[in-house]
Amino acid sequence: MNRWVGSLISVLAAAGLAAVAQAQTAPIKPAVVFSTGGKFDKSFNEGVWQGAERFKKETNIAVAEFEPSNETQFEQALRRFAQRGQDPIIAVGFAQAVALEKVAKEFPNIHFTLIDSVVNLPNVQSVVFKEQEGSFLVGMLAAMASKTGKIGFVGGMDIPLVRRFQCGFEQGIKYANPNAELITNMTGTTPAAWNDPGRGAELAKGQFDRGVDVVYAAAGSTGLGILQAAKDRGKLGIGVDSNQNHLHPGNMLTSMLKRVDLAAYDSFKAAQANQWKGGVQVLGLKEAGVDWALDKDNEKLITPEMKAKVDAAKAAIISGQIVVHDYMSNNSCKS
């Protein structure tokens, strides 16, 4: 009898220990709130999704997701996740900044990661990118690839963040070819501008009619229409955020990579290892947060000479020899 009790106790103790051990490496409950562009925009949101998927595969930890159908749902979604004890929560896109600031104050013990904007709270990690540096490089490529010397830019919503892409792009163009001309269009002034491929295509066609032969699409889902228009007209398109070269091989000059996938993945990884830190992270060329895409889909369009020039400029930006002006530093493209 005593033996039985003894073994029972030891079994219980072992089970208890195991429970404690499990609590120490308790799997985190990460969550993502996407932006209005939608999870599969082949661009910005999809990048975050890829990062989350990679984390999911490696760790077998489920990642909760929410795709808002309009911007009023951000706050609800963030709060719902926080109430359920999801931690950390990634908020994708500058448009969530206001909602996130509010919810983060209500839940000081939950960790939030905001991509593309800054909220200064101890439990918020803000990840922003030096889009101007990546855009500078693709601007150089555009200027070198253009035969007409006219290059187009179609942005999504007309906000300083998109102007930053445009401004870096313009600097890159002028750096490679001071005589090249840039024609800029914005799709709209509301968040719907991220999701209007029809209008994007029309804007791009309008630019082609004016002689443009390379167009840079920095417009979320709208970009799909812009790049499609480039393919339909036999022009060159430049993708953004994720590597979009595979969309139209042969008509995609390159893509400006914004490694939001890394940002999402790193944030989850850090949380898992209990090393998550608040504060602002600025990822540029140096930190491999932005880059340009070269793969089998566009290698025929990039001559060795173009690659050499861009690589040289990239090194110069990393070393600080070339400083790419940031539109958002003074809300102007003139430094």
Partner 1 sequence: MEEVFTLVVATLAATLRVATPLVLCAMGGLFSEKSGIIDVGLEGKMLMAAFFAAATAAVTDSAWMGVGAAIIAAEALALLHGFACITHRGNQVVSGIALNILAMGLTVVLGTAWFARGGQTPPLSAGERLNPIFFPVAGDNVIVYAALLSVPVTWWLIERTRFGLRLRAVGEMPLAVDAAGISVPWLRYRAVLLCGLFAGLAGAYLSIAQNAGFSRDMTAGQGFIALAAIIFGRWRPFPAFGACLAFGLLDAIAIRLQGVKLPGIGEVPVQLIQAMPYLLTLFLLAGFIGRTVAPKAAGVPYEKEH
In the complex, minimum distance from the CB of residue 286 to partner 1, in angstroms, rounded to a whole number:
32
In the complex, minimum distance from the CB of residue 204 to partner 1, in angstroms, rounded to a whole number:
10
Q: Which amino acid does the sequence have at 141?
A: L
**Residue 329, class by beta-carbon neighbours within 10 Å (0-12 exposed, 13-18 middle, 19+ buried)?**
exposed
In the complex, minimum distance from the CB of residue 311 to partner 1, in angstroms, rounded to a whole number:
32
In the complex, minimum distance from the CB of residue 195 to partner 1, in angstroms, rounded to a whole number:
6
In the complex, minimum distance from the CB of residue 201 to partner 1, in angstroms, rounded to a whole number:
6
Pick the closest to residue 155 from 182, 126, 117, 128 (CA basis).
182
| Residue number, 261 or 266, with CB nearest to partner 1 | 261
Tokens (6 digits) for 66: 């929410």
**Residue 95, class by beta-carbon neighbours within 10 Å (0-12 exposed, 13-18 middle, 19+ buried)?**
buried
Containing H/E element for 91?
strand 89-92
| Residue 164 CA, distance from chain mean position | 14
- Spatial separation of the C-alpha atoms in residues 265 and 269, rounded to whole Å: 6
In the complex, minimum distance from the CB of residue 303 to partner 1, in angstroms, rounded to a whole number:
27
| Residue number, 201 or 313, with CB nearest to partner 1 | 201
- Spatial separation of the C-alpha atoms in residues 319 and 13, rounded to whole Å: 59
| Residue number, 46 or 87, with CB nearest to partner 1 | 46
| Residue 80 CA, distance from chain mean position | 24
| Residue number, 255 or 272, with CB nearest to partner 1 | 255
In the complex, the residues that contact partner 1 under the rule CB under 8 A are: 38-41, 45, 67, 69, 158, 183-186, 188-189, 192, 195-199, 201-203, 205-206, 209-210, 221, 224-225, 228, 232-233, 247
| Residue number, 103 or 247, with CB nearest to partner 1 | 247
Q: How many CB atoms lie within 10 A of CB 252?
A: 24
- Spatial separation of the C-alpha atoms in residues 57 and 54, rounded to whole Å: 5
In the complex, minimum distance from the CB of residue 243 to partner 1, in angstroms, rounded to a whole number:
16
| Residue number, 127 or 224, with CB nearest to partner 1 | 224
**Helix, strand, coil percentages for the chain (3-state, nearest 5):** 50, 20, 35
| Residue number, 35 or 272, with CB nearest to partner 1 | 35
| Residue number, 3 or 57, with CB nearest to partner 1 | 57
- Spatial separation of the C-alpha atoms in residues 199 and 213, rounded to whole Å: 18
CA distances for 320 relative to 64, 140, 308, 324, angstroms:
40, 17, 18, 9
In the complex, minimum distance from the CB of residue 241 to partner 1, in angstroms, rounded to a whole number:
15
